[in-house]
Amino acid sequence: MSTLLSVDGLGITFGGLRAVHDVGFSLQPGEILSVIGPNGAGKTTLFNMISGIYHPGAGKVILDGQDVTAMRPDLLARRGMSRTFQNLQIFQNMTVLENAIAGYHLQETGSFMADLFSLPASRARARTAKDGAMELLARVGLDRAAETEAGNLSYGKLKRLEIARALALNPKVLLLDEPAAGCNAVETEEIDHMIAEVAKSGVGILLVEHDMKMVMRISNHIVVLDHGEKIAEGDPATVSQNPAVIAAYLRAEAGADAGAAHA
Amino acid sequence: MTFRNLTTTAAAISAFAVPAMADINIGASLAETGPAAFLGDPEAKTLRMEVDKINAAGGINGEQINLIIYDDGGDANKARTFATRLVEDDEVVAVIGGTTTGPTMAMIPVFEDAEIPFISLAGAVEIVEPVNPWVFKTPHTDRMACEKIFADMVSQGFTKVGMISGSDGFGKSMQAQCKGVAEASGVEIVADEVYGPQDADMTPQLTNIKGSGAQAILNSGMGQGPAVVTRNHTQLAIDAPLYQSHGVASKQFIELAGTEAAEGVRLPAAALLVADQLPDGDAQKPVVQGYRDAYEAETGEDVSTFGGHAYDALYILKAAIEKAGSTEPAAIRDAIEQTAGFMGTAGEVNYSPEDHLGLTLDAFEMLEIKNGEWTIVE
Amino acid sequence: MSELLQFLFSGLTVGAVYALVALGFTIIYNASDVVNFAQGEFVMLGGMMTVFAYAAGLPLPLAALIAIVATAGVGVALNKLAIEPARGAPVVSLIIITIGASIFLRGVAQVLFGKQIHRFPSFSGDTPFRIGGATILPQSLWVIAGGLTVFVALYLFFTKTLTGKAVLATSNNRLAAQLVGINTNWVMTLSFALSAAIGALAGVLITPITNTSYDVGIALALKGFAAAMLGGMGNPKGALVGGLLLGVLEALTAGYLSSQYKDAAAFVIILLVLFIMPQGLFGIKQTERV
Amino acid sequence: MRLSNKSATLLVLAALIALTPIFFPSSFYYRVGSLIFINGLAVTGMVILIGYAGQISLGHAGFAGIGAYSCALMPVHWGIPVLLAAVLGAIISALLAFLVGRPILRLKGYYLGVATLGFGILVYMALTNEAWLTGGPDGTQVPDSGLRDAAKAIGINLKNSEFWYWFCGVVLMIGAWLALNLYVSPTGRALRALHGSEIAARTVGVDVARYKLQAFVISAVYASAAGSLVALQNQFVTPDIAGYMHSIEWVTMTVLGGAGSVLGAIFGAGILTLLPQVLTMFAEYEQLLLGLIMMLVMIFMRDGLLPSVLRLIRGKDE
């Protein structure tokens, strides 16, 4: 039973449209599994189903041997699942440091009354969380921006902040939705290293990423989606040679070109 | 003195009115706006108009009246604040007001504490029962209105009454009083319905009253609700005659309800509405005619009994100050309590240490609308 | 049976009043996500201006037309002077501006028109129609017809006209709307003018039934807002059905249960509906996009 | 220095409460001051709900009504001491908020607004209609709390309005202290997180429903306490205290002053409580000016009065 997360026959329809259909795979501890596919293939929808934001219409999500299908995100967080978002979901109304501390929510939360009266217990919890958050920020190179309003940060830094926040949960499974999007080459490489490091510590990583070089470099296993269905899977070398995958990407590009020509 | 300068500057900056010294400061807190503005507006207009008149004629005992009116919107908490302001900041010697019962009751402790005489313009009996030495009132009580109406019903052989009341303070208060005196008056309340003061249609309530076997219908309410009730009463062709309360006692009611619908509606009211129909020689006639003409000329609006209540309060106060020959609140209070034979718009007022209402049931006339005009029921 | 019919007639009359007010909310909401708390004052202005123009001797239809056009002008002024300068402010700030506007307009009306209650005659007399033992006033039919007409007009406006679609696009994504060439300033101005005109029309139609005074707007806006929410904000169908439903519920409660608690019953139903359908009866369910 | 700095806010507040009476020309100003503090207390609760958690309520005056009528009715009907009644009122408000909040807080935006509005109206209607218990629209007396006499007994002899100024001032300080505690605490962080992004808050483990409910309940307690203070001070209460216009007034004060900070909201409460008193000199133009000022403030200071003023002082551009 070393499988950390397994997805089986997952599917969902939106208004009669099959967004994802019968997708399955499994993730081992310390493994980096990438989900790739052309735009609109259903990658983010798949993530949203696994992380409990959408309720799947069919299939199962098993975490650590337990069925967690359609479980609330905050309960999944308690069971060790953490994620980032394609369109950033930063707490814009808080500082960088507070964003990171928010990742420690489950560790720092306690009695409401203790918080209200600022009892020593409450302050101690908050202090521990703050120390952890500072350490994390240092790790992603944001410690000097700790007191900045999060909204004032550059896009690349926000991406790192979001990863830091996700790591603060000390997850078993980490879902990263395009962590390198919008980042320059240097930043991408930093993120690259970070992911590898996290995986080395035994965390299973589920990755959606458009930067194919990065995907090929760090993934142990790749799942390819097209039109909501799994068309291939395997190690990077196998998948990149798969004719169906190449066809899907070519078709998507042709479509994009055709679209561009029309516009 | 720096400190004094500072406080004066602060007062000037905060723009609170500082009254002139030698005048007689008379305060008022009225519902010029809000749900009871229908009552409070004519009250405020009357006070302003009459105070100007008194001042032009040389004031009281040679001193000018400085009238300070605040608009409490009918809100008890606001009224309480203005009461404090009148006492502490404006240093008034007497206060008129409290358009409705809630604000009046909220203000009483302030004036009692500061020992300032207070003449309320609100209807409820609780204001003067039990008697508070500092509190008087000029309008008839709701209970008197109920008794007058029920007496008229009984005299016509109606003993089963359907009630329909506004859910505002005025309507609810009168509803409770009428239910209280119904048995003693020899009538039975067979239906008891309520509407919101701004409601557009009361046919469901009236349909239920129609089906209850009521021989007569009593609508306790003020403002625009009774006009809708009256129109709906006609719309449903209900045989049981409709009685309104003193809360609609103005010519405007007939316009709002429509002449046709208002035909035959009865209500108890002071002689103000039918000034011209009073017999010559009636001591009240010149008073009510004078006030009505002045008010209608000044405002261009129809006179209502509510303005009359303010008129009565002001002139009772004026007489008391003249009699006391002093502007000491305690002296004014004593003089108010000795008011006897004062002829106001509501009738003859005789206060005593036991009676701070001073009106009898005779002060009410039973009126009926005929051909769009108020007439006295013989 | 005739009782039930009477209650229904009453409910439809009152409901049509609510629906007319609720319909006025939809356009501004659709263009800007702002619930305009001054909508009740538009209704008040329509009624009051008609009262005074009529009293000045103008024929009723002309008086009504003047009132509607003038109120639309007030709507435009409100947008130009208060909403447009606050561009980019959070929605809640815009809402506070409309609350301020409602207090302001009420204050102006109080100074200009006084605090008396007014009315002008019904359009087609006061002789009730008798149907199955129940009665309904001709003016009620005017109000109901007015509500239906405004509903159909709005429905066609939003679905069939380019301008209507531009309004919806502006609400969805202001920047994108500008990029595809929609003059969003103009859309906003138009929305305020139309909403104000619908409000004023409501005021003209309902005044013979409800009477009018400087402060009728408060209660009307409250019920109109509740009706719009019950139906689903922004949807003309929701405003119409929500309004009529609210009116009928109140009338049936007053008739069969307790007139004392008829407003309470209405709000209890609204709460129940929202628990089951959090977007109202016809509101669009929004999927969380991340 | 950041605005949310707890001790700075408390210091400024304490200084304002303690020092402004120096400028009072008459003891009427103490009355206005006490009303500002009472509204300030209610809006401090609204800051927790609106500013921290990002939820709206147009029905909190309903809780004020419960707080006020508890003080009026419990002593008369069950012989409960007035002060204990105020505490019980707060507990009842909390329980009611807990029960009502569960289903209501699933709604968002305007739908939450209309649901809370409906709740407030139901409370108001019960207070108005059940005249046998509440005295109906004309209101009812509240027994003397004995607080002023107690103060007298320990040598603090104050006029009525002065006494309530200081008493409400102290209660406001406590309320502000608690709200500021909450702001920097894990709970406050969770509330602000779900305000910033509900979905992200969920994924870091925040039980969104539970935290919204906590904010709703605690803000209800604040409103209830404010209602109790009005009742205790006036010794008279009418159902108007639960009227929806008061709920809207509190939201307006909160947003006008600056919803994000306790001091800002109290500032808003101060301005909107004081304005009607100042505007009385304009007689019938009072309402018109009040509306105009509200519009101007929101047009030119869209983040609220206090944040905008502070920005101006610091010379920091937007």
Asked if D186 lies within 8 A of A53 by C-beta distance, the reply is: no
Do D and B make contact, counting contact as 3+ CB pairs within 8 angstroms? yes
Q: How many domains does chain B have?
A: 2
Contact (Cβ atoms closer than 8 angstroms) between residue B316 and residue B344: yes
Q: Given a contact as 3+ CB pairs under 8 Å, which chains touch D?
A: A, B, C
The predicted structure's pLDDT at residue B86: 96
Which tens digit of pLDDT belongs to each residue from B40-73?
Answer: 999 999 999 999 999 999 999 999 999 999 999 9
Domains in chain C (CATH in brackets) are: 2-276 (1.10.3470)
Q: From the list D23, D235, D284, which residue is nearest B109 (CB)?
A: D235
Q: How far is B170 from chain D (nearest CA, A)?
A: 8
B66 in the same domain as B44:
yes
Asked if A86 lies within 8 A of C290 by C-beta distance, the reply is: yes
Reply yes or no on whether the pLDDT at A189 is more than 90: no
Domain with B219 in it: what CATH number? Answer: 3.40.50.2300
Under DSSP, is residue D23 helix (H, G, I), strand (E, B) or coil? helix
Where are the domains positioned within chain D?
6-16+27-243
Which tens digit of pLDDT belongs to each residue from B232-248?
Answer: 999 999 999 999 998 88
* CA pair distance C35, C29, nearest whole angstrom: 5
pTM of the model: 0.92
CATH number of A5-90+172-262: 3.40.50.300
ipTM here: 0.91
Closest chain A residue to the Cα of C285, Cα to Cα: A15
Where are the domains positioned within chain A?
5-90+172-262, 92-152
In whole angstroms, how large is the CA radius of gyration of chain C? 19
In whole angstroms, how large is the CA radius of gyration of chain A? 19
Q: From the list C6, C110, C126, which residue is nearest B207 (CB)?
A: C6
Examine residue B304 and state whether it is found in any structural domain, yes or no: yes
**CB contact set of B138 (below 8 Å; sequence gap of 6+):** B119, B120, B121, B309, B310, B312, B313, B316, B344, B346, B349
Q: Given a contact as 3+ CB pairs under 8 Å, which chains touch B?
A: C, D
Which tens digit of pLDDT belongs to each residue from D229-248?
Answer: 999 999 999 999 999 999 99
Q: How far is C170 from chain A (nearest CA, A)?
A: 22
* CA pair distance B167, B160, nearest whole angstrom: 22
Asked if D203 lies within 8 A of A74 by C-beta distance, the reply is: yes
Report chain A residues touching chain C, CB-CB < 8 A: 14, 44, 48, 53, 85-87, 89
B157 in the same domain as B118:
no
The predicted structure's pLDDT at residue D1: 40
Contact (Cβ atoms closer than 8 angstroms) between residue B95 and residue B86: yes
In B, which residues are within 8 Å of C13 by CB distance? 200-201
Q: Considering chain A, what is the average pLDDT of its residues?
A: 90
B185 in the same domain as B171:
yes
The predicted structure's pLDDT at residue A173: 96
The predicted structure's pLDDT at residue B20: 44
Q: How far is A44 from chain C (nearest CA, A)?
A: 8
* CA pair distance A25, A204, nearest whole angstrom: 13
* CA pair distance A215, A222, nearest whole angstrom: 8
* CA pair distance A15, A57, nearest whole angstrom: 12
Examine residue B349 and state whether it is found in any structural domain, yes or no: yes
**Mean pLDDT: which of A11-15, A45-49, D129-133 is highest?**
A45-49
- Domain interval for residue B207: 142-269
In D, which residues are within 8 Å of B70 by CB distance? 280
3-class secondary structure for D238-295?
CHHHHCHHHHHHHHHHHHHHCCCCHHHHHHHHHHHHHHHHHHHHHHHHHHHHHHHHHH
B95 in the same domain as B57:
yes
The predicted structure's pLDDT at residue A225: 93
The predicted structure's pLDDT at residue D62: 97
Asked if A44 lies within 8 A of C287 by C-beta distance, the reply is: no
Strand partners of residue A27: A5
**Percent above pLDDT 70 for chain D:** 97
Examine residue B274 and state whether it is found in any structural domain, yes or no: no
B112 in the same domain as B19:
yes
In A, which residues are within 8 Å of D189 by CB distance? 94, 98, 101-102, 105, 108
Q: Which of B1, B9, B16 to mutate to test the interface with D (most CBs of D within 10 A)?
A: B16
Give yes or no for D108 touching C (CB within 8 A): yes
Backbone angles phi, psi at C242, to 5 degrees: -60, -45
The predicted structure's pLDDT at residue B16: 45
Residues A152, A155, A160, CA angle at the centre, nearest 5°? Answer: 100
In the predicted model, residues of chain B with pLDDT beneath 70 are 1-22
Q: How many CB atoms lie within 10 A of CB C125?
A: 11
B8 in the same domain as B134:
yes
In the predicted model, residues of chain C with pLDDT beneath 70 are 1, 285-290
Query: Between B and D, how many CB-CB pairs are < 8 A?
Result: 107
Q: From the list C118, C219, C260, which residue is nearest B198 (CB)?
A: C219
Examine residue B69 and state whether it is found in any structural domain, yes or no: yes
In the predicted model, residues of chain D with pLDDT beneath 50 are 1-3, 316-318
Q: Considering chain B, what is the average pLDDT of its residues?
A: 90
